[in-house]
Homo-oligomer: A and B are copies of this chain.
């Protein structure tokens, strides 16, 4: 169920669910697609268990640092189906300090993976916010384009895994 304070990205990816899941949950693979190019992941810490750390730092090609370096917290993991994490908490559920820029508001991400037939995957990422102002800020920062570009990169990477399987 989504509310008006959510942002939603939904794509049918032309790759099977197990490989999309693998590309999401293997840190070495996640690093290759999670930043919308030409942005890159400079640091990544991910412990996919409830209370575990989720920390990703991105840098732009000109050295621009997005500040995505604050540790978030993994909340829920359903193997092959669902990932939930938040920036409102840090590892082991400690309330997090807000940062600047992309980290100036807390958000929770709910990512789900479902079979879409013909070896395709329905990929859905929902960003939950406190209020409409935070949602609007996130939207203006380029949620649709950013997550959309990354979904394309994720699809491509997962397809490559299939070819190598």
| Residues in A lying within 8 Å of B, measured CB to CB | 3, 5, 50-51, 75-76, 84, 86-89, 92-97, 105-108, 110, 128-131, 134
Contacts and interface: CB of A to CB of B under 8 A. Distances in A.
Given A50-B76, A76-B93, A93-B108, 20 more contacts: A3-B94, A5-B94, A50-B50, A50-B75, A51-B76, A75-B93, A84-B93, A86-B93, A86-B95, A87-B95, A88-B95, A88-B96, A88-B106, A93-B110, A94-B128, A94-B129, A95-B105, A95-B108, A95-B130, A95-B134
Interface of A is mostly: loop
A134 B94 CA distance: 12
27 contacts: A3-B94, A5-B94, A50-B50, A51-B75, A51-B76, A75-B75, A75-B93, A76-B93, A84-B93, A86-B89, A86-B93, A86-B95, A87-B95, A88-B89, A92-B128, A93-B108, A93-B128, A94-B108, A94-B128, A94-B129, A94-B130, A95-B105, A95-B106, A95-B108, A95-B130, A96-B130, A97-B131
